[in-house]
Amino acid sequence: MTNSSHVSRRNAIKGSLGIAAASLCPGNIGRALGFESANARPRIGVVGCGVRWDKRVYEADGRYGVGKEFPKFGDIVAVCDVDAKRLDRANGIVKEWLGKSPAVTNDYRNIIGNPKIDVVHISTPDHWHAKVAIEAMLAGKDVYCEKPMTLTIEEGQLICEVCKKTGAVFQVGTQQRSTPQFVKAIALIREGRLGKLQRVQCAIGGAPTSPVLPSATPPRHFDWDRWLGPASQAEYHFKGGAPNIIKSWSRAHYEFRWWYDYSGGKLTDWGAHHIDIATWGMGMTDTGPVSVDPVFVEHPVEFKDGYPLTHNRYNTATKFNIKALYENGVELIIRHDTDNGILFEGTKGRIFVNRGKLKGKPVEDLATNPLPDGAFKRAYKDFELTDHVTNFFEAVVSRKQPISDVFSHHRALTTCHLAGIAARVGRKIQWDAKNEQIIGDPLAQSLVAREKRARFEIEM
């Protein structure tokens, strides 16, 4: 794509950003929602069309899917999934949103290799994120990637390197960074209302277990080998009747997050949200802890040398209390119990924040001592507070780092990954935040990276 085409599309986005959010109308393209022309709208490719992209894959209301926000700013021209049924649903959903069917493919390379596509929205399982994101940036695309950004610490290092090299705009889908009560919590901390931070606690909930899952033949519409991609070769396991969103236990789709092969379990699933906010509030977005101690961890299967010995049941940690210690003495506690949310404790007071509330005396004191003008904007990286997808497209126009940039997210997610590594090896680990390596523990250090399966290496 030529520079003039990019500039034209950025100008089109810019023209739309000042317009109040409007409902999408089927068939309304072209000048819809204030865009200057159909040709100037950025073209978007979607890789992974599951529940995070649009929840109607499994439920009728689709209330959690973020995909529907993207047509406000551009045209979804291509969708990719390795499950033919999901791909067919995605085709129909996009046609409903924009009045026109997108191209469909089961190979993400057809999207990142298309010079007419400007933005790639990645909603794959975690183990695919880094490969698609890195290759998309190298192909000149801007990226919106659902959280957690990576499966390993090394992948985060690579993404940061490539993002710097290419100048790509990359938003991580940690939407709490664009949620008012979380931004207000950060503003309170920045304005000194809690005093000096001493301790932060992240309660992220426990993880489910599964029964023994029998080996099964993958459905004909599902390309299991391509779904595995960079992960190690494994048998497909499936059992129906589960009390979850997809009514089944398996190695794939929504339940991938409970297998260390594809995810970090709850520590990177909800941890990617709350530990991200904690790190932001602590002012530790360019560094990390000095030690991580698995005070208490419970796994549903036995481990040896950091790897599960059972391969037909969920294996990520179900219960935990893990302590990360920072060089300045601040403690970050990650636990499965207590009310889901983040508790910031300082020398002048404490606040608790989650998706439903922000409370504490410093919050009550706002009635008589409000935050100064500009406090929200300063906390929100000098952007005007808005929703997460709008912030991404504002950054696409300005070429500024969006509110959830790869560099700060990598540091926060590194703490999540270190917690997982400490849980797997069953001992306290020491972390060199400057050089990003585990000190004096070769086994733990070996879990910082993961070898990619042949045919699915990251192409740099």
Read off the pLDDT of residues 192-207 as tens digits, 9 standing for 90 and up: 999 999 999 999 999 9
Query: Does 45 share its domain with 149?
Result: yes
* Confidence check: pLDDT of 105 > 50: yes
pLDDT, position 56: 72
- Mean residue pLDDT across the chain: 92
Q: Give the per-residue pLDDT at 274.
A: 98
**Considering the domain boundaries, does residue 401 fall inside one?**
no
Is residue 441 scored above 70 in pLDDT? yes
Considering the domain boundaries, does residue 350 fall inside one? no
Retrieve residue 156's tokens: 């985060």
Flag whether pLDDT at 424 surpasses 60.
Answer: yes
Q: What percent of the chain has pLDDT over 90?
A: 87
For residue 321 the two structure tokens come to 């209390």
Per the DSSP assignment, residues forming a β-bridge with 203 are 335, 341
**101 and 169 co-located in one domain:** yes
Instruction: Collapse the DSSP code of 33 into the 3-class scheme (helix H, G, I; strand E, B; otherwise coil) and give the result.
Output: helix
Per-residue pLDDT band for 14 (boundaries 50, 70, 90) equals low
Does residue 378 sit within a domain?
no
Q: What is the DSSP letter of 148?
A: S
Mean pLDDT score, 256-262: 98
Confidence of residue 34 (pLDDT cuts 50, 70, 90): very low
Average pLDDT estimate for 165-183:
98
pLDDT of residue 367: 98
pLDDT at 4 over 60: no
**Average of per-residue pLDDT across 217-231:** 98
Same domain, 114 and 231: no
Strand 170-172 to 103-105 pairing: unpaired
Confidence (pTM)? 0.93
CA–CA distance, 159 with 248 (Å, rounded to integer): 33
453 φ/ψ sector (left φ>0, alpha ψ -120 to 50, else beta): beta
On the CB side of 361, how many CA atoms lie within 13 Å of its CA? 9
- Give the integer Cα–Cα distance in Å for 220 and 254: 18
The predicted structure's pLDDT at residue 417: 98
Asked if 279 and 416 sit in the same domain, the reply is yes
Judge whether residue 416 has pLDDT over 60: yes
State the residue range of the domain holding 40: 3-176
> Does residue 43 sit in the same domain as residue 7?
yes
- Burial environment of residue 18 by CB neighbours within 10 A (0 to 12, 13 to 18, 19 or more): exposed
Q: Tell whether 61 is covered by a domain.
A: yes
Per-residue pLDDT, 246: 87
pLDDT, residue 7, reads 52
How many domains, the chain?
A: 2
Indicate the pLDDT class of residue 245, thresholds 50, 70 and 90: confident
Cα 277 to Cα 290: distance, rounded to the nearest angstrom: 19
Q: What average pLDDT does this structure show over 144-161?
A: 98
Q: What integer is the mean pLDDT of 77-104?
A: 96
Residue 11 has pLDDT above 80, yes or no: no
pLDDT, residue 161, reads 98
Under the banding of pLDDT at 50, 70 and 90, the label for residue 51 is confident
pLDDT in tens, 356-376: 999 999 999 999 999 999 999
459 located within any domain: no
Q: Assign residue 56 the CATH number of its domain.
A: 3.40.50.720
State the pLDDT at residue 33. Answer: 32
Same domain for 207 and 63:
no
More confidently predicted of 170 and 246: 170
10, part of any domain? yes
Tell me: do 315 and 226 sit in the same domain.
Answer: yes
Quick: pLDDT tens for 282-339.
999 999 999 999 999 999 999 999 999 999 999 999 999 999 999 999 999 999 999 9
pLDDT at residue 55, as a whole number: 78
The pLDDT value recorded for residue 87 is: 96
